[in-house]
Amino acid sequence: MGPGPITVHPRVLQAMSAQLTGQYDPFMTATMAETQALYREVFVTANEATLLVDGTSRAGIEAALVSLVEPGDRVLVPRFGRFGHLLVEIAERCGAEVHVIDVPWGQVFAPEAIEAAVREVRPKVLAVVHGDTSTTVAQPLDALGAICREHDVLLYCDTTASLGGNAFLTDAWGLDAVSAGLQKCLGGPSGSAPVTLSPRAVEVIESRKSIEAGIRSPGDPVRADRIRSNYFDLGQVLDYWGPKRLNHHTEATTMLYGARECARVLLEEGLDASVARHRLHGDAMLAGVQGLGLTPFGDLAHRMTNVVGVEIPDGVVGDAVRAELLEDYGIEIGTSFGPLHGRVWRIGTMGYNARRDAVLTTLAALEAVLRRHGVAVPTAGGTEAAQGVYRAAA
Ligand SMILES: *Cc1c(COP(=O)(O)O)cnc(C)c1O
């Protein structure tokens, strides 16, 4: 019940035990094509350029940024949590001139504040996290696409924490590059990063892709603006996933099976139904911790559906409570990073764990452990409050 990774959906585990095939086996290429089509639905996009980057979520972030950003380019990062710091670091490593605006952790930006910074900085890329699990809040994105079009800026978004459990509309919101991971609301293991790219983003990437001698036409000159990574050169990766099927890395077949199954499970439930389920169990968890007399952390109006932040009560050693929950009850919850370490717990209700039994068991165990740590918690205060949410929704 932490903020990710989470318990993997049994169907995904089963799919990942299937036999491997050769890279150009028609079954393999058909599986890749099917997975691309499934992730177009998951991202709600018509982008032809939708694929998996092999690696954890930050491989997707790094691939998108290193492929779009040239040394000297300006990149603007509205930073509201730990993963905003990661975007800054990766953009800096790409050689970008990085500009940052900040809000205190737990809050998000008004679109006007982002627009003002775009006007001032005139970046090539605006890079923003959707839901930052470190703070449990999600930045509204629906107004940013229009702002970016008006100022001819490419809009990149990391939706690892939010996709599948919170509404996410790639095309309707005007996003140019989006990356995700499986280990949050998609209910899979870490190790595959679904990515989608708008035609505008593909144009930039195609203009910078390198020719790999021995596979492509040999002797093409190496350009100064070429993408500074081979593994994360999305131009080359697109040639591999696209009709040319030009060899690049050996696709991580087992992760491909896992990613495909994550998308199938999600789409069989339905995107809207999955978001509603995450909201229901997230609301129940929030009501539950409040019913135990705890104070939720962050701007609740912008709370993600799938993770609740809780202020650790004064006098309680947060890590001792977490250790006892894990050792005695087999339940994991998280703390946070940086300024929030030891100040908040983060309790996830995501993917396969967004279930009533998981919510109620966690609240019952938390009540027992808090009482042992000297907190005056109301008897069954958490489970009763959560049950109230379920009754109201029934
Ligand atoms: C959890 C999370 C990640 C995880 O990155 P990994 O490389 O898979 O560890 C990235 N971005 C956000 C916003 C997250 O919440």
The pLDDT assigned to 336 comes to: 87
The pLDDT assigned to 297 comes to: 95
Ligand 1 geometric centre to CA of 82 (Å): 10
Place of tokens 């870490």: 190
The pLDDT assigned to 208 comes to: 87
Residue 52 · residue 193 · CB < 8 Å:
yes
Domain parsing of the chain, residue ranges: 10-267, 271-393
Q: Which helix (H) or strand (E) holds 288?
A: helix 271-291
Residue 83 CB–ligand 1 contact under 6 Å: yes
d(CA 180, CA 192): 8
Residue 190 CB–ligand 1 contact under 6 Å: yes
Q: Apex CA 44: angle with CA 112 and CA 12, to 5°?
A: 120
Place of tokens 């972030």: 61
The pLDDT assigned to 212 comes to: 65
Atom of ligand 1 nearest to the CA of 161: 15
Residue 60 · residue 285 · CB < 8 Å:
no
* Residues of the chain under the 70 pLDDT cut: 212-222
- Residue 264: how many other CB atoms lie within 10 Å: 16
Residue 56 CB–ligand 1 contact under 6 Å: yes
Atom of ligand 1 nearest to the CA of 130: 13
Ligand 1 geometric centre to CA of 190 (Å): 9
Alpha-helix runs per DSSP H in 292-348 = 318-329
Ligand 1 geometric centre to CA of 147 (Å): 26
- Residue 167: how many other CB atoms lie within 10 Å: 17
Residue 177 · residue 155 · CB < 8 Å:
yes
Fold of 271-393: Aspartate Aminotransferase, domain 1 (3.90.1150)
Residue 84 CB–ligand 1 contact under 6 Å: no
**CA–CA distances in Å: residue 127 to residues 118, 155, 172:** 11, 6, 18
Tokens of 124: 């090539």
| Ramachandran angles phi, psi of 328, nearest 5° | -90, -30
Tokens of 348: 């996830």
d(CA 62, CA 68): 10
Ligand 1 pocket mutation pick from 52, 160, 185 by most atoms within 8 angstroms of CB: 160
The pLDDT assigned to 210 comes to: 75
Ligand 1 geometric centre to CA of 89 (Å): 14
The residues, ordered by sequence, that sit 6+ positions from 35 with a Cβ below 8 Å of its Cβ are 52, 256, 259, 260, 263
The pLDDT assigned to 221 comes to: 64
Atom of ligand 1 nearest to the CA of 81: 13
Tokens of 66: 């290193």
Ligand 1 geometric centre to CA of 22 (Å): 30
Sheet holding 97-102, edge to edge: 49-54, 192-197, 177-179, 154-158, 125-129, 74-79, 97-102
Ligand 1 geometric centre to CA of 131 (Å): 10
The pLDDT assigned to 217 comes to: 57
This prediction has a pTM of 0.96
| Ramachandran angles phi, psi of 74, nearest 5° | -90, 135
Whose CA is closest to 204, among 67, 46, 48? 67
The pLDDT assigned to 225 comes to: 80
Tokens of 210: 């390198």
The pLDDT assigned to 288 comes to: 98
Over residues 290-305, the pLDDT tens digits come to 999 999 999 999 999 9
Residue 240 · residue 61 · CB < 8 Å:
no
d(CA 141, CA 375): 39
Ligand 1 geometric centre to CA of 374 (Å): 34
Residue 132 CB–ligand 1 contact under 6 Å: yes
Q: Which architecture, in CATH terms, is 10-267? A: 3-Layer(aba) Sandwich (3.40)
Q: Which helix (H) or strand (E) holds 58?
A: helix 57-68
- Residue 13: how many other CB atoms lie within 10 Å: 14
